[in-house]
Structure 1
Amino acid sequence: NAAANFLTSRVETALLTVNDQLARLGALQNRLQGVVENIDISVQNLSSARSRIQDADMASETANLTKHQLIQQSTLSVLTQANLSPQGALRLLSATQPVEFPKSQ
């Protein structure tokens, strides 16, 4: 009977130790889960910021492209409509007064 009591006491002590370790592991798991959630939020915020930066750059580059396309189209239009020599086109582009083109028929 004494041996049974001793073994029972040892098993109860082991169970208390296991329960204590389970509680510690549960607390650690909760803390780690909080860290993971914070990292996830940081990743989302960084991704959103990067996207806004890329979008802003894309808008700027699109505006630049449009500006240069308009300049190119205007130059071609001047050359085509006036049917000028290169010297005449330069004179026309550097003129300070508005230039009137002949009306197309």
Structure 2
Amino acid sequence: MQLREMKAAHAAALTATVPAPIAQAEGRRACTELLGVGALFFERSSWNDRPALAVGVRPRDGRQAWWLEPGTLGRLKDIQVQIEAHRSWPRCACLPVQEKPDRRKRGDRSRRRGGAL
């Protein structure tokens, strides 16, 4: 959903996506990570001396600090990302990004080339 179509106070999830070209240049994989979930808000701001509109989410649990996931912020520090706001569950039709689990069990030697030892 386009940001201009969303209204303040909608329940929203903010995500940060590292686009493939930037990820490749940084030696990492492209990914989308959750920044935070809560009531959407907008604030007029500036970026590079130009007017801008900042977006954020206010958590429902009443926290006054750490509104964004600290682990995500740490992993994405100094990396250019694309910020997206999604209507939060249960109304969002977006599917979460899921990684495929590693199906091999650790220590399972039967799947190694050449059979069991």
Query: Which TM-score band applies after superposition, normalised by the shorter structure?
Result: under 0.3
Larger radius of gyration: 1
Of Structure 1 and Structure 2, which has the larger fraction of its residues in strand? 2
Structure number with higher relative contact order (C-alpha < 8 Å, ≥ 6 residues apart): 2
Of Structure 1 and Structure 2, which has the larger fraction of its residues in helix? 1
